[in-house]
Structure 1
Amino acid sequence: MKSSYPIPGDPWPPDMTMTVEDRPTTVNEMLWVREAFALNVTGDAPPPLLDTPAPASRPLTDAERDHWATAWPGLWSQVVDHAGRLHDREAMDRLMHRDTPPDERETLLHRLSGPSWRDEFGDEVFDDPSYRAWDARSFEAVRSAHPRSLEAQPERRAVSELASAWGRGLVKVVVLACEGTHVRTLPPQGLLVTAGDRAEDASYREALTSFRPR
């Protein structure tokens, strides 16, 4: 988002741009796996999802459950760190060239999409009624929550703190569909917050104030 043109008295700096990712696909997939398979993960994990998915239909052996729970925190960190980065225009431009070799295309696609649960455990994990239903509800929840006016957007309501964070280097906000509070700076210039934090003015201002580039 960016101000279309300078408006006298408007606190939004005319040259400030900010990307808000309110439905990060690979991040959401990780959160669904954690809850649908009831993984007991440790480390810097966010709070539960606002919309609890139904249990996955696929049963896990004890060995699989232990392996998944052990793998989840490290992969989670990689996934959210990539989600905090801006779109890689150089990779996209190269991908669009007809003369790009197939092996380079695969590398570029992975560079754009970043790490994911699918890379480690396969696409079939998400061929599950629980995931399909939850993903559809997630899409509708985000769509219906979009403010109808510019001034009602959370970023406009917290524009002073947002502008200060932008001045310190913030370029992207990644929103988790989770309850409670979970704020984390993402390298190099991103911020991770929950949907609840972003919806509440005081919480969002506090989260933006906490941003420090890494």
Structure 2
Amino acid sequence: MLITVEDDPHALVDLLWIREAWGLRPVGDNLPPLLSDKSVGAHTGTDASGGVGTWQNDWPAMWEACVRHAGQVRDETLFEQLQGTAFGSAERDELLHQFVGPTWRDKFGDDAFAAQYETWNLAKLDARSRRRPQPLEDAPEHVSLAALIPAWRAGLSTIVVIPCLSSYTRVIGPHSLIVTSETRDDPNRYSQALKQFR
């Protein structure tokens, strides 16, 4: 049994940061809860591009596009194909887009990424590097093995974890499930989430 846990999905985390840092209040179905890291306060700067209204309106569609990409099974040959392309070529750009998927920067550029973003991202990376390795028997997947095995038999191969409060569980493809870190850290809630993949 092989399960991939993607616990730092960059495109999704970028969207979550933008939503909170800019105080966006997008409207739509299946939107995730707030980040668990409360250090991301509303951004106090001004939007030089004047795009905040557009950002708020387009955020749900961008979220869905990034979630769809996160739910896809990765083509293992993409990395090899990338190595065989010339820097700056259209072929390389297309392969990179397939590999990375849609991003906020592709659509809106860098205007939303204030200086706070870099500080927050570095603090997040630092905290991640200080975390002690977890013994296998304490890993959430091992603790919830009774629920994981039937989900795996039903096709689950990837679990995408977003750093959000509360519960948010969705089947996001024929082989993928998205959950919050809070759900994954709670054996009962995680087992219930895994049972949704059947």
Q: Give the TM-score of the pair, scaled to structure 1.
A: 0.84
CA distance in 1, matches of 2:151, 2:161: 16
Deviation, structure 1 residue 146: 5.7
Question: Where does residue 81 of structure 1 map in the other structure?
Answer: 68
Give 1:61 shift: 7.5
* Residues 55 and 130, structure 1, Cα contact 8 Å, conserved in 2: no
Give secondary structure in 2 for the equivalent of 1:125: coil
Measure the CA separation in 2 of the matches of 1:160 and 1:181.
20
**Contact 1:155–1:162 (CA under 8 A) maintained in structure 2:** yes
Of 167, 173, 183, the residue aligned with 1:197 is 183
More moved, 107-116 vs 45-54:
45-54
CA distance in 1, matches of 2:7, 2:116: 21
Question: 1:4 maps to what in 2?
Answer: none
How far did residue 101 of structure 1 move? 8.5
Distance 2:8 2:69 in 1: 14
Per-residue CA deviations over 1:181-201 (Å, capped at 9, x if unaligned) read 000001131100000000000
Give the counterpart letter for 1:84 in structure 2: G
Q: Which residue of 2 aligns with 1:20?
A: 5
Q: Does 1:149 align with 2:149?
A: no
Tell me if 1:173 matches 2:159: yes
The 2-side partners of 1:56 and 1:101 are apart by 34
Question: Of 151, 163, 184, which residue of structure 1 is paired with 2:170?
Answer: 184
Instruction: Label 1:76 to 1:109 Cα distance change in 2 as closer, same or farther (>3 A).
Output: same
**1:113 paired to 2:100:** yes
CA distance in 2, matches of 1:58, 1:108: 35
- Structure 1 residues 136 and 100, CA gap change in structure 2 (3 angstroms): closer
Could you tell me which amino acid in structure 1 is paired with residue 194 of structure 2?
Answer: L
Are the aligned partners of 2:33 and 2:165 in contact in 1 as well (CA < 8 Å)?
yes
Where do 1:32-181 residues align within 5 Å? 32-43=17-28, 44-52=30-38, 53-56=40-43, 58-60=45-47, 64-97=51-84, 102-126=89-113, 128-145=114-131, 147-181=133-167
- Give me the CA root mean square deviation: 2.1
Are 1:50 and 1:177, in contact at CA under 8 Å, matched by a contact in 2?
yes
Alpha-carbon deviations, 1:124-148, whole Å to 9, x = none?
Answer: 432x221112212322444455642
Q: Distance in 1 between matches of 2:100 and 2:5?
A: 17
Q: State percent identity of aligned pairs.
A: 35
Q: Is the 8 A contact 2:85 2:91 kept in 1?
A: no
Q: Is the 8 A contact 1:154 1:199 kept in 2?
A: yes
Aligned residue pairs: how many?
A: 196
Cα separation, 2, equivalents of 1:61 and 1:105 = 32
